[in-house]
């Protein structure tokens, strides 16, 4: 009898349902608006990886692979892209994915005021349903980067019921077609998502809830991972890599990255562009010559990152070899300032309030001081900084672009005239023409020549100064399995398991 009594609590536990699996992810910053048409932040892309499936995705080798579409083909001599859609897909509000629903979702990216996806999609003239499970994008001319653009936010579809709801109103009750749906967002604190039972690939989802926590301080983020309060974190600081590798509670997940970090300079956006740095290319050249990129990554990032003067590394087929990375030259920098009529130049430098940005900015501040620049660092929350960038409320800022598979996605939205991500309003018609030529051709040699021609001009004008390219360094709890490392750095929830209740 005593033996039976001892077994009763155990039997009671066995009879209870298993605790819901809860995956907790630490982000480097808080996203801006959780609307795929309007979003601009890397943090937003992380959350969308669980919320909003795309027409296509990329894999570890940067191949385009199916997601909401199972097949695609170019037609009409490259002026139409036709997608066959997956059967059985439903949006979070229960609406089915059809050819017409996909057309409405894609037109949303084109028609919504302030859309940051429109430029990514190129010269689209029409998006129409051409079958119950087929959608066709028609173009005025061939546009090589389109398929790669649809592997990111431009390819995310929302329910037709929500297509006209945008921005803050949309994120209150978003209806995408991903494995999780947003249930609550507390700004600067968390985003809570719950599993969507109608997800088409439900067999590959092994957790019931996902919570994203924005924690800008890399040390605090890592401490939460080590304590078991988080399961995965993005952007482990290079200075912590050695310690993490010696800690059996956690591990480093490392992979190549498409990302690049750069300085953006306000050259024509409002009154704050009226500065020596904004108005004189010689002053911008002096600032670049003040920076030793290799020393910067050695000091700020333990030498793990790769110095960069372009949006892609030197081994990339579209790297402009005619403009190699300039070396630091303090004497030349001082001479350029004198030539421009200045002994010293003051610069207000807007910096996201995260550890890696601050460390790099302080190194740049010290280097630039030797060349005649007095840099004032202003720490700003990332989403606020991006709003200021758009509004022209900055002189110079440092920011990351998470990178795209096709080089067009790293250049056109920044250097073309009048596009949304061109916060400093740089505009050079020769650069526009070269970037447009590269978009219109599928010939690699033609595209490489056009990108080289554009680079010779925009790297001389310096509305942006590229600095370094990172590795993807995620911190992962020892119990977590199934994390796939793709160079875009996004934490894909499909296949992840080992989270606790």
The whole-number pLDDT of residue 9 equals 36
Give the C-alpha distances (Å, rounded to integers) separating 438 from 36, 197, 316, 496. 26, 43, 15, 38
Three state DSSP letters for 94-150: CCECCHHHHHHHHHHHHHCCCCCCHHHHCCEEEEEEEECCEEEEEECCCCCCHHHHC
CA dihedral for 306, 308, 311, 314, sign (positive or negative): negative
The whole-number pLDDT of residue 3 equals 38
More confident residue, 501 or 45: 45
Average pLDDT for 78-105: 97
Residue with tokens 């996605």: 409
Q: Vertex 101, ends 139 and 118: CA angle to 5°?
A: 40
The whole-number pLDDT of residue 317 equals 87
Main-chain phi, psi angles of 71, to 5 degrees? -155, 160
pLDDT above 60: residue 364: yes
pLDDT above 90: residue 414: yes
Of the candidates 205, 223, 198, the one whose C-alpha atom is nearest the C-alpha of residue 213 is: 223
pLDDT band at 366 (very low <50, low <70, confident <90, very high): very high
Average pLDDT for 38-49: 96
Average pLDDT for 223-241: 96
Average pLDDT for 216-242: 96
pLDDT above 50: residue 11: no
Beta carbons of 489 and 401 less than 8 angstroms apart: no
The whole-number pLDDT of residue 499 equals 82
Is 190 exposed, middle or buried, given 0-12, 13-18 or 19+ CB atoms closer than 10 A? middle
The whole-number pLDDT of residue 19 equals 54
Residue with tokens 């979070």: 92
Neighbours of 191 (CB within 10 A): 28
pLDDT above 60: residue 472: yes
The whole-number pLDDT of residue 302 equals 94
pLDDT above 90: residue 126: yes
Neighbours of 235 (CB within 10 A): 24
Beta carbons of 147 and 56 less than 8 angstroms apart: yes
The whole-number pLDDT of residue 51 equals 98
Of the candidates 313, 31, 59, the one whose C-alpha atom is nearest the C-alpha of residue 187 is: 31
What CA–CA distance (Å, rounded) separates 484 from 492? 7
What CA–CA distance (Å, rounded) separates 48 from 50? 5
What CA–CA distance (Å, rounded) separates 130 from 80? 12
The whole-number pLDDT of residue 316 equals 87
What CA–CA distance (Å, rounded) separates 255 from 20? 30
Tokens of 331: 């004497």
Mean pLDDT over the full length of the chain: 94
What CA–CA distance (Å, rounded) separates 416 from 319? 18
> Please, which residues bridge with residue 184 across strands?
192
Average pLDDT for 11-39: 78
pLDDT above 70: residue 13: no
Of the candidates 492, 447, 439, the one whose C-alpha atom is nearest the C-alpha of residue 119 is: 439
> Please, which residues bridge with residue 352 across strands?
380
Residues in the chain: 501
Of the candidates 473, 443, 405, 480, the one whose C-alpha atom is nearest the C-alpha of residue 210 is: 480
pLDDT above 90: residue 442: no
Average pLDDT for 265-277: 98
């Amino acid at each position: 009898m005593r033996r039976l009594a001892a077994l009763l609590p155990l039997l009671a536990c066995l009879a209870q349902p298993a605790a819901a699996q809860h995956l907790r992810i630490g982000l480097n910053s808080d996203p801006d608006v959780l609307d795929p048409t309007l979003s601009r932040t890397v943090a937003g892309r992380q959350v969308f990886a669980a919320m909003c499936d795309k027409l296509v995705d990329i894999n570890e080798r940067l191949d385009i692979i199916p997601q909401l579409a199972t097949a695609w083909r170019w037609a009409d001599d490259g002026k139409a892209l036709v997608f066959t859609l997956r059967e059985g897909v439903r949006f979070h509000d229960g609406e089915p994915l059809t050819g017409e629903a996909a057309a409405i979702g894609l037109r949303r990216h084109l028609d919504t005021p302030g859309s940051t996806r429109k430029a990514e999609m190129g010269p689209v003239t029409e998006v129409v349903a051409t079958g119950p499970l087929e959608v066709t994008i028609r173009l005025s001319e061939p546009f090589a980067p389109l398929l790669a653009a649809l592997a990111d936010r431009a390819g995310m579809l929302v329910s037709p019921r929500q297509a006209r709801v945008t921005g803050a109103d949309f994120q209150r009750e978003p209806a995408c077609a991903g494995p999780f749906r947003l249930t609550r967002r507390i700004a600067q604190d968390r985003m809570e998502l719950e599993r969507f039972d109608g997800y088409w690939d439900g067999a590959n989802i092994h957790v019931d809830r996902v919570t994203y926590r924005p924690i800008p301080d890399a040390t605090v983020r890592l401490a939460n991972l080590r304590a078991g309060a988080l399961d995965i974190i993005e952007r482990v600081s290079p200075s912590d890599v050695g310690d993490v590798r010696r800690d059996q509670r956690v591990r480093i997940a490392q992979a190549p990255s498409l990302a690049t970090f750069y300085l953006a300079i306000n050259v024509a956006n409002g009154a704050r562009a009226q500065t020596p740095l904004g108005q004189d290319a010689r002053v911008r050249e002096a600032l670049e010559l003040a920076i030793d990129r290799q020393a910067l990554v050695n000091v700020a990032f333990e030498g793990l990152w790769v110095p960069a003067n372009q949006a892609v590394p030197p081994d990339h087929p579209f790297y402009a070899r005619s403009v190699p990375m300039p070396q630091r030259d303090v004497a030349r920098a001082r001479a350029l300032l004198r030539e421009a009529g200045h002994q010293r130049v003051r610069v207000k430098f807007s910096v996201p309030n995260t550890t890696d940005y601050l460390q790099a900015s302080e190194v740049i501040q010290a280097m630039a001081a030797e060349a005649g620049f007095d840099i004032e660092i202003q720490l700003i929350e990332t989403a606020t900084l991006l709003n200021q960038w758009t509004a022209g409320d900055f002189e110079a800022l440092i920011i990351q672009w998470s990178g795209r598979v096709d080089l067009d996605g790293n250049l056109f939205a920044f250097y073309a005239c009048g596009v949304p991500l061109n916060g400093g309003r740089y505009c050079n018609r020769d650069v526009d023409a070269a970037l447009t030529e590269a978009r219109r051709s599928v010939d690699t040699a033609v595209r490489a020549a056009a990108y080289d021609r554009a680079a010779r001009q925009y790297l001389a004008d310096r509305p942006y100064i590229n600095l370094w390219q990172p590795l993807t360094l995620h911190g992962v709890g020892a119990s977590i399995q199934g994390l796939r490392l793709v160079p875009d750095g996004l934490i894909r929830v499909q296949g992840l398991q080992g989270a606790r209740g």
